[in-house]
Chain A
Amino acid sequence: MATNWVDKQLQGKKKTGPMPMPHPGDPGYSLNEIAQRQALGYKPPVASNSPGSGIDASDRMKIAGGTHDIVSPPVAGSQLPTIDPLGDLNEIYKQLLTSLSQSPTVLSDKQIRKLAEDQIKMQFDPQIKALKQDMAERKQRYASNKAEVQDLYSDLANQYRSERGNSTNAYNDAQAYNDSLRTNTDAEMQQNYQNSLDYQTNEFNKLGIGDVAQVNFPQQQQDLQYQQTLNNAEADAFDRYLAGGEASAQDYFSKMAANAGYHGAETIEDLLNELNSNLDNSSSQITQLRGQSGTALNSLILQIQQQQQQRLAEAQQQQFQNLLNAGKFGMDISQQRWAMDPNNPSNQKAASQRVPTSGLLGATQQFANLPDPQKMLGVFQQLLATQPFLENNVMSKGGESIKLSPPQAAQYAVQMAQQMGLSPQETSALYNAVFAYFGQLGR
């Protein structure tokens, strides 16, 4: 739609005079329009505290129903273009109504559940996964430890069996040593006696008393046997000592080898108990987490539903406010239309000569004698499209809604004129136009 001043200028591919360059979000300008102006070489003003700059652009667009294509109204007795302003106001009105049908997105219960489930999964799944991984690692570690413990105690049993062999070897060595002592001593005794007998035989034969030997020797033989018996008895006693020690060692190491297996089994059982305890603990934690996640899911679903209800309620409230705005705006248009209607008795007398003094037409009269009335009409259209005016002349100040009185509106218009760099004459005309708009000019 190219019915506004800017679009008309753009269609003509020329700029006819100084034109304000708005900021994005400034009242009365669509982003498209701003882009078009930038394309024509206009730069935005430096001042940042323009009227309505503190108001969110999207809200303004929402309330205004999009871009504000307010056109120049016809002014009787002037050179202004004769375009029906009501038609364009109707267009704004239609856009405003269109915005009313735009309701916020509503999530279904299924979507809310999916949203909540995703969020809960993000929170709980890593913990549960970590616990499951820990359980798997513990099982794996148990299997590994079990094998190691089996090896350990198997080796211990082998060590005991090995000690049995070592003990037997030591016993055999000790027994052989004792036997050697026995044999050597026995032989030594035998040899000593034999030497003695030989000595006596020689000595007695030399003396010619060899018969004496026959008397002496039996006693000496008997003594030798006695000594040998003592020697054997002591050796046997030592053998018994060794054998007793060996039997004890064999018994000890055999039992210890068997016990090593029991120790291994007990240790593995301890490990298994510890594993089961840990697994139970982890399972319990997982169950607890799942329970918590279920509770958290229900809570989150409820929270999202409440938020959505609150958002819907706010949207309905806003929609209702917009509806009120639209209704009042429509009433304003109707009033304007009635003011221009030939059937209006007040217009029947001299409708063609009558110069309107109030409303939009009354306001436009204030620009008729300016050098560039069309520019001022554009400025006034912008003014009307700003938030305070769109909201039925109610302006928000410090979070508190106040009724916009004509002097306040005029002051607001002066601020806007200063921001746009208008001349004193233009500013004054804009100031008067506001009073005319409210029908209070000259009062």
Chain B
Amino acid sequence: MATAKKPVKPPAPPAPKGKSGKTTITNKKSSKGQLSGTLTTKPNKNDPNSFADSTYWDTLNGLLRDSDLYKQNMALQNSRTNEDYGISTQKLAKQRTRDLDSIENDFAARGIVKSGPYGTRVGQYEDDYQTALSDLARAKNRSLQDVSMGYQQYLEQWRLQKQQAIQDAIQRKLARLKK
């Protein structure tokens, strides 16, 4: 009988880390699951985000919302994968019960249920069943890894977009400095 394990939560994307007395951005989910953010800017000489301006915060806020949506989408995909896996294993288990009964009835009708050939036949069936279960488990794993891989790629793009937002903010800052 297949045993379903509790799915592991995928890693969360990095959030900007605010320091005490410095610029921080916090994001909270509302009860409806939508993103709501509050921006607190406290100018500080040692502010690590000296490039940050309102446009940057807007962009970063958008990126954070996007990552949140991605995480929700990813969680849904994982959930469906696990759910499909559970359904499939359950179908296989039911089919196994029916098939083993059928095999037993077949051999009993022929009066050879207590024989080596019956035992061999059951063993072959169990072997095929375990192989099917393993294939199903690996397929589920691959599916979950694909989601994880997609998330890694998304994270990479997310970081690049964030760096681009920083670069843009720096260019805006430089343009203001040169005025």
Contacts and interface: CB of A to CB of B under 8 A. Distances in A.
6 contacts: A148-B50, A155-B50, A170-B11, A173-B12, A207-B118, A220-B123
Contacts of B27: none
A166 B159 contact: yes
B48 A155 contact: yes
B138 interface: yes
B119 A209 contact: yes
Interface in A205-252: 207-209, 211-213, 215-217, 219-220, 223-224, 227, 230-231, 234-235, 238, 241-242, 245, 249
Contacts of B116: 209, 211-212, 215
Nearest to B169: A152
B35 interface: no
Interface string B147-169: 01101100110010011001100
Which applies to chain B's interface (DSSP): helix, strand, loop or mixed? helix
A153 B169 CA distance: 11
Contacts of B148: 174, 177-178, 238
A158 interface: yes
A196 interface: yes
Interface in A173-205: 173-174, 176-178, 180-182, 184-185, 187-189, 191-193, 195-196, 199-200, 203-204
Contacts of B129: 196
Contacts of A215: 116, 119-120, 123
Give the 6 A-B CB pairs with smallest separation, nearest first: A173-B11, A212-B119, A216-B123, A227-B134, A166-B14, A184-B5
B21 interface: no
A53 interface: no
A204 B1 CA distance: 18
Interface string B113-153: 11110111011101101110111011011101100110110
B1 A192 contact: yes
Given A174-B11, A181-B145, A215-B119, A207 B114 contact: yes
Contacts of A213: 119, 123
Interface string A286-320: 00000000000000000000000000000000000
B166 A219 contact: no
A176 B140 CA distance: 17
A200 B122 contact: yes
Contact of B130 (A155, A173, A174, A193): A193
A88 interface: no
B55 interface: no
B18 interface: no
B145 A216 contact: no
B120 A227 contact: no
Contacts of A249: 156, 159
A151 B43 CA distance: 14
A234 B138 contact: yes
Given A185-B141, A208-B114, A153 B11 contact: no
Interface in A259-295: 267, 271, 274
Nearest to A166: B14
A140 to B, nearest CB: 13
A220 B1 CA distance: 15
Contact of A238 (B149, B151, B177): B149
A398 B44 CA distance: 83
Contacts of A254: none
A1 B151 CA distance: 119
B65 to A, nearest CB: 18
A219 B5 contact: no
Contact of B3 (A145, A191, A211): A191
A156 interface: yes
A235 B133 CA distance: 17
B62 interface: no
A78 B21 CA distance: 117
B76 to A, nearest CB: 17
A199 B97 CA distance: 12
A167 interface: yes
Contacts of B11: 169-170, 173-174, 176-177
Contacts of A189: 130, 133-134, 137
A163 interface: yes
Interface string A375-415: 00000000000000000000000000000000000000000
A149 interface: yes
A215 B144 CA distance: 36
B8 A184 contact: yes
Given A181-B8, A187-B5, A196 B126 contact: yes
A178 B148 CA distance: 8
A230 B8 contact: no
Given A160-B163, A181-B144, A188 B2 contact: yes
A163 to B, nearest CB: 5
A440 interface: no
B87 interface: no
B123 A200 contact: yes
A163 B13 contact: no
Contacts of B48: 155, 158-159
B14 A170 contact: yes
A215 B126 CA distance: 13
A245 B145 CA distance: 14
B103 to A, nearest CB: 11
A228 to B, nearest CB: 8
Given A170-B155, A196-B130, A216-B120, A256 B173 contact: no
B79 to A, nearest CB: 15
Contact of A155 (B9, B51, B177): B51
B49 interface: yes
B159 to A, nearest CB: 5
A131 to B, nearest CB: 20
